[in-house]
Structure 1
Amino acid sequence: MKIVLENLTKKFPKIDKKIKSEVIAVNNFTHDIEDGRLIGLLGPSGCGKSTVLNLISGLEKPTSGKIFFGEDDVTELPPENRGVGLVFQNYALYPHLNVKDNIKFPLENLRGKDKLTKDQMDAKVLEAAKLVQIENLLERKPAKMSGGQQQRVAIARALVKHPKVLLLDEPLSNLDARLRLQTREELKRIQIETGITTIFVTHDQEEAMSICDTIVVMNEGRIMQHGAPQDVYDHPENLFVAKFLGTPQINVFKGEICDGGLFIGKDKVMDVKPETASGNAQKRDVYVAVRPEGFVAVTEAESSEENLLHCDFIKMEVMGRDTSIISNHEAFDGTVIRAIIPSDTRPQFISGEVSFKLKPSKVHVFDAETEEAIRI
């Protein structure tokens, strides 16, 4: 099912006297979600991603804008008539019912021509349980199950009616790290097997990038950027997206473009095209953002070469495959610089200063005023 969100806006009335105007949770949100795709709504807490999900499901009505499922305008359609399956952060299972009855519950509420016989319901329950691999737990109560098993029950309950759209609102947040990894892989498998258009809300960028076909990065109710996860990571369109995606976080420096070079403090780190400077200005203030994997540590003998970034060494953290070099620089816009290099290439000795070459593909430059990306 293709979903079209057209100029969606959702405003909530002010509830605090200190707030002078309405709260805009979703602001002119426009996006097309292709049939059978798994899309991730990604952003910090309060950015509006769950509100978008609630608008699609019908739990909230938009202040303005339209929602289309295929060619049908469903903006005013009640939630129960939209054909959506919802999975929440808390599993919302009925503790007095066993797994079988929890999954069956949505089917028991069907009426008229959609009403099913007991045998038909049992068959659908077994089909959904097999899909999430809990068919051997049908007689168990939720209290006797792990968090991952309970989440699978919630997913099976959402799938049992064969929804047109599956909506997942931070479904993995209550699971430990190992279960999160396992369950997100299961979610991707289920989505591929069913072909259901799925919208996955999360603040965890690693989750979104690992399983989604497309990610939509949001902030303050607006779309900051959307696209294939790796494309968004490799080509952030603004400083917010660059800082939000990536673990550890990208390293941001105050810099400038002048005399045909990109400078961080006194260090010229890269050559640039002369036309990159704006207008007739002799220099252009910028932010220079470098991914942790974008540093190449050089030896003391090489530290006098051109186009190097010279930093004050703090310490090294050896993490097996990789090593983090922790350092600082007068132009750094943060606490400490974290450079990640392969452990087998780390320098044998580092004194009070460490020098880096920067990988051009991992360096992103943004205008200091607009924070929009500059291609150099």
Structure 2
Amino acid sequence: MLQEISEVEDNEGSRPILVEFQNSNLQEGQEHHLKTAIFKQNQATIVAIASPKLLYTGNVTRDKDQDLHKRFLVISNRRTGKVRLVAVDTVLLTPQFAQRSSDTTSVKNANSVNKLNKAFGSKKIKKITEQRERMTMNIDDVREQLEQTVAGIELDESAPLVAQIGENDSNYRPPIHRDASSREEVYILEEIVPSHVLNSLEDESREVLDSDLDSLDLTPMIRDKLAQMQNTSPNLAKCKLLLYLDYLIKFVTKLAKNITKRCVICPSTVANSHILNNFTVSSNSGRTRPLSMRDKTVCYILVIAMIAFDYEVDFEQLAKIVKIGVKKLLEMGRILAFSSDSKKKNSMTLKLPLPASVTSSSPQKRKRK
């Protein structure tokens, strides 16, 4: 027996439903000809959509039934620039064709077999027969129920159906300014690492510039850059940025199970808190670093490295340091509007005009690191 979902308590909570039609001639703009309703049958949630000629039905699939991917509706606030992710259910709707006259005999035979099974069959056969009968849908009854359900419902046709998503709508990529007149203005350092965070590394930076770099635990490419600065003209601001980059690299290469609320990444409590607050999420155990946060950290590492290394970065060397494949790192660089260096293999630069924006492909399920 079908019940409208509004009359049934849904313990899992209601969520938006993403609909896909199979063998449908429906076109965009024909939604005003459709009538729809959602029903509950045993543990199944059924979506039914009726056009003037056909009825489409299908069972809702929840994300928890899908092992390989998750689906979200991305809602962008154009005024604030913030994005909200809403988990959605999915349903594949198939057309329910009218019973042809040639099928009448088979239907009668099926009804007769069902009666025999219920009269003389075993308990298991009786149970299977009853379940089969309950799952049989009467199209005319559903269509009438749909018409009653949607009567009086008005749709706001002026509301946009698809949110326009820009590069700055992502919380995982540093904000980019594509209208910048110079490459220094494409990524603004203050928007990526606030000045008070870098200033908290000033004393440590002075000590580093006066120290034997080989005695310090520094990332090799950062140690080489600092050595160049020692031999030419020490740059305190650049040193602070390089130290922050070094801490961010150490953070992303740390095992996820070792990321806790009291995790110490660097001596500066200001910089340490900034890294934990921006590249981890709160959990019952304190702090965790899911794969999404790891990808976000790598994006920020690439942009900070591009600024710190004067807009030319060896991605092959960096890939070994952050323990990510060169191919994936180059793809992330293209997403961040970097260009391949024609003179050096696996190196990228930031130059104007910027290349066309690139969107990332759907992430595959990976093992937690």
Q: Which of the two has greater helix per residue?
A: 2
**Bigger Rg over Cα:** 2
Q: Does the alignment reach a TM-score above 0.5?
A: no
Range into which the TM-score falls when normalised by the shorter chain: under 0.3
Higher normalized contact order (CA 8 Å, seq sep 6+, divided by chain length): 1
Give TM-score scaled by structure 1 length: 0.25
Q: Which of the two has greater strand per residue?
A: 1
